[in-house]
């Protein structure tokens, strides 16, 4: 596959790993006193485990798995609202497959489907639009989930629906943005991060400048990274070199896909359709100011929250987190997945308690699935 | 977050709706190309773009890709030289 | 009695075809018995085969239900799968498949022409595998009570006295072989179903593997075990075997035979091809010194063209399947939790 296979070359990987080991030594980092690098994006977490990069890099590097998995940070109350929407008579609820197994307080979407709700998995919001065109007598709701990468797709779909006058289509907007939770993490007094691997696909939409504050205000390096193993290793090396040299800059390893200023069409569509919410709830992190988007008044007809009177507009919201769940501590890097008392016992991919065990991008599920869990057990 | 993969635009399918056919390893899927469209859509045919949830989100910059690869290859070749030198040293010292 | 049966006038199955009367008789005679057993049958099959009389021979008996959406897809249909699946269940245990039964749950409104195509492909596949479909049943249910057509087949075969294939006989040092490409069936069905609006020139690998198994057993008589990697894919059968034998299994990512289109489908939808279903792919566990012979025997057959070694059995940890990634990293290949869902992140 072009633009993928070239970035999986084992020879170059060995060279990168050797360089990484040298720079880790130069920094003086050890297993006891490691350099902490957060990969913000869940896609990077997944790639690290899928390719076994955590086991190939020297013990002086500790990867902290960031909050960049939209499914993982989705609060239970929003899942409950999805179920409520899906169970409305006449509604066809469309969603990415990722969201199907996330537990709500009552049930997951998968369970709601079994109970009779018309819930359909789609690959694209465009497919939800097509379902709306083919079912004019039904209300088709699309579960708009994801960071800046995915936001343009639903914005453009809403614009398309408006252009066609497709009145039976609406979006349940749960789009969130990357910079605010990073700022929240950096403001945390317990924070011990030394640098960041930045989300490549978010950045192809927003560009690299929204991260400037990380270097300027907080003095931490960030390297925007691609998703192939060589991309990741090269980015880790770039972060380490900055740390060694005492630099704090925003660098772009993924320039083949990420333009400095992002994608103008995407940004215009987002600005046209969405506006900031005053705050939005993140599972494990709580309410974060200006971290979520809602649909602007001019597109209210396509806003499922408005159309069905559900969600933030509907009154005070109870924050429901399962008891004993340490997702918040894991997500802020204060706890390793295996250190959670529920890991692998009260919380497994079969019966997830917390969100980090649900998505394959969640740090806990990745640990469990790709060996962190059993490797840890075997080592004991 | 955000699974995205490189695909090649092979055909314009519905110009008013900005739709085109993208191909990934022989698998085809109709995608929206609004984000990468500059000028007539036909100009996109043959171009590579990063595909996410049915949208071509960003055109892949071949020059930048080549630059990154070159740097990576440079590392790989340096590595081979080092390994060859290490093997040579070992041979000289009578190790194997 | 078929000679007496008038051709069916109906084009679709109605509830009256399940009513036990003349319409049902007509459906069974004209669509099913005429193809499977043109000489007619009694109510139950009465069977004899010389292989049964060999001292020490054992009877193998298996059953499987088949549901697939769509019923017809590139590379096969539900009938072909129903025959191949049960033939393969017998074959992987070392049995020579002999006889099948076939039961059909038919949704009201199903086209008779579709039934005929399915039945014809079952007969063709049974002939290829050298088995007879000797007994069967039909039921008709109302619209929405079934999805077009469900098929259940049971199969009987004979295991010769000298054969003892079993997962718990697998030993460290054995090699893990497959006969063909991984994930073709799963990817073909995904594309054929159309939910994800993908089009890909992928055909299901659906094939009967009885003859291939006989060829491998002749060439590599020390083979320990084999499993057909259907639902849950290769990853699932490897986990089952690792657990049953109390061994570890290590596979090599670079050795996995995958079509570019299957890889592409997986990259687009965020799926792992190790968990995609196959309908004509086996995992075989063979002592290392017989692996080349087993590979050569498979490659000599059309359904074994892509035969290759994908990994080896190691001491342990018991029950763990791991994969060496393409540049030397390692990861665990666990059993799947529930169904594999397409993802965007």
pLDDT of amino acid A133: 97
Q: Look at chain C and report how many structural domains it folds into.
A: 2
Most confident of B69-78, C44-53, C175-184, C327-336: C175-184
Let me know if residue C146 belongs to a domain: yes
Pick from C133, C159, C185: which residue ends a domain? C159
Taking 70 as the threshold, does the pLDDT of residue C23 lie above it? yes
Let me know if residue C154 belongs to a domain: yes
Looking at the fold, whether C208 and C300 belong to one and the same domain comes out as: yes
Do A121 and C195 meet the contact criterion of CB atoms below 8 Å apart? yes
In sequence order, which residues have a C-beta less than 8 Å from that of residue B53 and are 6 or more positions away?
A96, A123, A124, A125, A150, A153, C344
Looking at the fold, whether C173 and C291 belong to one and the same domain comes out as: yes
- All domains of chain A, ordered by start, with CATH? 5-69+182-199+207-252 (3.40.50.11750), 76-177+261-314 (3.40.50.11740)
Looking at the fold, whether C171 and C211 belong to one and the same domain comes out as: yes
Pick from C120, C141, C159: which residue ends a domain? C159
Let me know if residue C130 belongs to a domain: yes
Taking 80 as the threshold, does the pLDDT of residue A372 lie above it? no
Taking 50 as the threshold, does the pLDDT of residue C45 lie above it? yes
Measure in Å the smallest separation between the Cα of A369 and chain C Cα atoms.
Answer: 6
Let me know if residue C345 belongs to a domain: no
Residue of B nearest to A362 (CA): B1
Q: Is residue C317 reached through a cis peptide bond, with omega within 30 degrees of 0 on the bond before it?
A: yes
C-alpha span between A222 and A199 (Å, rounded): 10
pLDDT bin (cut points 50, 70, 90) of residue A228 is very high
The CATH number of the domain holding residue C137 is: 3.30.1330.10
Name every chain B residue with its beta carbon within 8 A of the beta carbon of C196: 29
- Mean predicted lDDT score pLDDT of chain C: 92
Of residues A314 and C134, more confidence is placed in C134
Taking 80 as the threshold, does the pLDDT of residue C57 lie above it? yes
Looking at the fold, whether C245 and C265 belong to one and the same domain comes out as: yes
Of residues B83 and B66, more confidence is placed in B66
User: Nearest CB to B55: which of A9, A19, A156?
Assistant: A156
Taking 90 as the threshold, does the pLDDT of residue A356 lie above it? no
Looking at the fold, whether C52 and C142 belong to one and the same domain comes out as: yes
Q: What is the pTM of this model?
A: 0.90
Do C332 and A374 meet the contact criterion of CB atoms below 8 Å apart? yes
**Neighbour tally for C280: CB within 10 Å:** 28
Measure in Å the smallest separation between the Cα of C258 and chain B Cα atoms.
Answer: 12
Taking 60 as the threshold, does the pLDDT of residue A373 lie above it? no
Taking 60 as the threshold, does the pLDDT of residue A255 lie above it? yes
Of A158-167, A178-187, B42-51, the one with minimum mean pLDDT is A178-187
Looking at the fold, whether C17 and C127 belong to one and the same domain comes out as: yes
Do A124 and B55 meet the contact criterion of CB atoms below 8 Å apart? yes
**Strands (E) located in chain C:** 58-66, 72-73, 76-77, 96-107, 132-141, 149-159, 175-178, 198-199, 225-228, 248-252, 282-286, 308-314, 321-324, 330-332
Name every chain A residue with its beta carbon within 8 A of the beta carbon of B58: 204-205, 257-259, 263
Of the candidates C236, C227, C143, C128, the residue with the CA atom closest to the CA atom of residue C186: C236
Q: Is B5 close to C199, i.e. CB distance below 8 A?
A: no
Let me know if residue C343 belongs to a domain: no
Do A352 and A280 meet the contact criterion of CB atoms below 8 Å apart? no
Taking 50 as the threshold, does the pLDDT of residue C116 lie above it? yes
Q: In this structure, what are the phi and psi dihedrals at residue A338, rounded to the nearest 5 degrees? A: -70, -15
pLDDT of amino acid A316: 55
Pick from C95, C128, C159: which residue ends a domain? C159
Looking at the fold, whether C7 and C132 belong to one and the same domain comes out as: yes
Of the candidates A333, A240, A220, A273, the residue with the CA atom closest to the CA atom of residue A21: A240
pLDDT bin (cut points 50, 70, 90) of residue B96 is very low
Let me know if residue C340 belongs to a domain: no
Looking at the fold, whether C240 and C307 belong to one and the same domain comes out as: yes
Find the chain B residues whose C-beta atoms sit closer than 8 A to any C-beta of A.
Answer: 1-6, 8, 17, 24-25, 29-32, 34-37, 48, 50, 52-55, 57-58, 60-62, 64-65, 67-69, 71-73, 75-76, 78-80, 82
Looking at the fold, whether C137 and C205 belong to one and the same domain comes out as: no
Helices and strands of chain B, counted as H and E runs? 1, 5
- Mean predicted lDDT score pLDDT of chain A: 90
Looking at the fold, whether C215 and C297 belong to one and the same domain comes out as: yes
Q: Tokens 């084999």 sit at which residue?
A: C226
Let me know if residue C120 belongs to a domain: yes
Taking 90 as the threshold, does the pLDDT of residue A154 lie above it? yes
- Does residue B25 sit at the C interface (CB-CB below 8 Å)? yes
The CATH number of the domain holding residue C183 is: 3.90.650.10
Of residues B94 and A301, more confidence is placed in A301
Looking at the fold, whether C226 and C285 belong to one and the same domain comes out as: yes
Of C14-28, C252-266, C327-341, the one with minimum mean pLDDT is C327-341
Read off the pLDDT of residues B18-37 as tens digits, 9 standing for 90 and up.
999 999 999 999 999 999 99
Looking at the fold, whether C250 and C105 belong to one and the same domain comes out as: no
User: SS3 of A278, please?
Assistant: coil
Of residues A122 and A286, more confidence is placed in A122
Q: How far is CA A106 from the centre of its chain?
A: 24
Domain containing residue C128: 2-159
Q: Is B29 close to C265, i.e. CB distance below 8 A?
A: no
The residue-averaged pLDDT of B29-46 equals 95
Of the candidates A172, A186, A175, A118, the residue with the CA atom closest to the CA atom of residue A141: A172
Q: Is B27 close to C270, i.e. CB distance below 8 A?
A: no
Let me know if residue C338 belongs to a domain: no
């Amino acid at each position: 596959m072009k633009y993928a296979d070239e970035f999986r070359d084992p020879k170059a990987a060995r060279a990168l790993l050797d360089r990484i080991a040298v720079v880790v030594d130069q920094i003086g980092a050890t297993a006891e006193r490691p350099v902490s690098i957060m990969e913000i994006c869940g896609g990077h977490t997944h790639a690290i485990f899928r390719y076994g990069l955590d086991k190939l890099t020297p013990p002086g590097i500790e990867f902290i798995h960031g909050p960049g998995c939209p499914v993982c940070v989705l609060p239970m109350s929003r899942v409950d609202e999805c179920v409520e929407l899906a169970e409305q008579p006449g509604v066809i609820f469309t969603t990415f497959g990722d969201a199907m197994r996330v537990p709500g307080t009552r049930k997951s979407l998968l369970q709601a489907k079994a109970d009779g709700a018309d819930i359909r998995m789609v690959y694209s919001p465009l497919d939800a639009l097509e379902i709306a065109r083919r079912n004019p007598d039904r209300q088709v709701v699309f579960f708009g989930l994801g960071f800046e990468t995915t936001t343009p797709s639903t914005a453009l779909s809403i614009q398309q629906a408006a252009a066609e006058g497709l009145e039976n289509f609406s979006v349940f907007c749960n789009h969130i943005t990357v910079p605010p939770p990073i700022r929240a993490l950096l403001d945390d007094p317990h924070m011990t991060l030394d640098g960041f691997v930045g989300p490549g696909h978010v950045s192809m939409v927003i560009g690299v400048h929204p991260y400037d504050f990380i270097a300027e205000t907080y003095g931490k390096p960030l390297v925007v990274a691609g998703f192939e193993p060589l991309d990741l290793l090269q980015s880790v090396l770039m972060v380490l070199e900055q740390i060694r040299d005492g630099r704090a800059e925003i660098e772009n390893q993924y320039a083949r896909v990420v333009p400095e200023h992002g994608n103008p069409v995407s940004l215009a569509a987002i600005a046209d359709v969405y506006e900031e919410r005053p705050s939005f709830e993140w599972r494990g992190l709580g309410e974060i100011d200006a971290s979520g988007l809602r649909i602007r008044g001019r597109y209210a007809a396509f806003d499922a929250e408005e159309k069905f009177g559900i969600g933030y507009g509907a009154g005070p919201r109870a924050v429901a987190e399962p008891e004993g769940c340490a997702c918040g501590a894991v997500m802020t890097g204060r706890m390793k997945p295996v250190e959670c008392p529920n890991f692998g016992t009260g919380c497994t991919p079969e019966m997830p308690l917390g969100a980090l065990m649900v998505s394959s991008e969640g740090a806990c599920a990745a640990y469990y699935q790709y060996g962190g869990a059993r490797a840890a057990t075997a080592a004991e | 977050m955000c699974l995205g993969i490189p695909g090649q635009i092979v055909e314009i399918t519905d110009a008013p709706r900005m739709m085109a056919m993208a191909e990934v390893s022989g698998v085809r899927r109709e995608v929206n190309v609004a984000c990468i469209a500059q000028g007539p859509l036909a100009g996109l045919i043959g171009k590579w773009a990063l595909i996410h949830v049915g949208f071509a989100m960003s055109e892949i910059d071949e020059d930048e890709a080549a630059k990154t690869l070159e740097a990576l290859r440079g590392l790989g070749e340096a590595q081979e030289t080092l390994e060859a030198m290490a093997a040579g040293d070992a041979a000289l010292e009578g190790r194997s | 009695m078929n000679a007496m049966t008038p051709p069916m006038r109906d084009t679709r199955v109605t509830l009256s075809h399940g009513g036990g009367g003349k319409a049902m008789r007509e459906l069974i005679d004209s669509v099913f018995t005429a193809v499977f057993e043109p000489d007619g049958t009694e109510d139950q099959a009465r069977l004899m085969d010389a292989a049964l009389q060999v001292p020490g021979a054992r009877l193998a008996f298996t059953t499987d239900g088949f549901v697939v959406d769509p019923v017809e897809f590139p590379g096969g249909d539900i009938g072909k799968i129903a025959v191949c699946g049960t033939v393969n269940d017998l074959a992987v245990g070392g049995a020579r498949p002999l006889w099948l039964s076939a039961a059909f749950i038919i949704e009201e409104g199903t086209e008779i022409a579709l039934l005929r195509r399915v039945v014809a492909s079952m007969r063709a596949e049974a002939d290829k595998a050298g088995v007879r479909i000797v007994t069967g049943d039909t039921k008709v249910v109302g619209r929405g009570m079934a999805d077009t057509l469900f098929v259940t087949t049971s199969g009987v075969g004979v295991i010769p006295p000298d054969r003892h294939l079993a997962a718990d006989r697998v030993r460290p040092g054995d090699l893990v072989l497959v006969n063909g490409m991984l994930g073709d069936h799963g990817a073909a069905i995904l594309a054929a179903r159309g939910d994800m609006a993908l089009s890909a020139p992928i055909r299901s690998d659906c094939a009967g593997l009885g003859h291939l198994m006989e060829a491998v057993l002749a060439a590599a008589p020390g083979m320990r075990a084999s499993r057909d990697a259907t639902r849950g894919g290769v990853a699932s059968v490897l986990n089952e075997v690792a657990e049953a034998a109390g061994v570890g299994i290590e596979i090599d990512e670079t050795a996995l035979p995958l079509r570019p289109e299957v890889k592409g489908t997986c990259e687009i939808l965020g799926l792992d091809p190790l968990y995609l279903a196959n309908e004509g792919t086996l995992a075989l566990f063979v002592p290392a010194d017989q692996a080349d012979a087993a590979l050569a025997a498979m490659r000599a057959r059309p359904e074994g063209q892509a035969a290759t070694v994908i990994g080896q059995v190691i001491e342990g940890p018991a029950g763990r399947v791991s994969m060496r990634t393409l540049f030397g990293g390692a990861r665990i290949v666990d059993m799947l939790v529930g169904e594999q869902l397409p993802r965007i992140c």
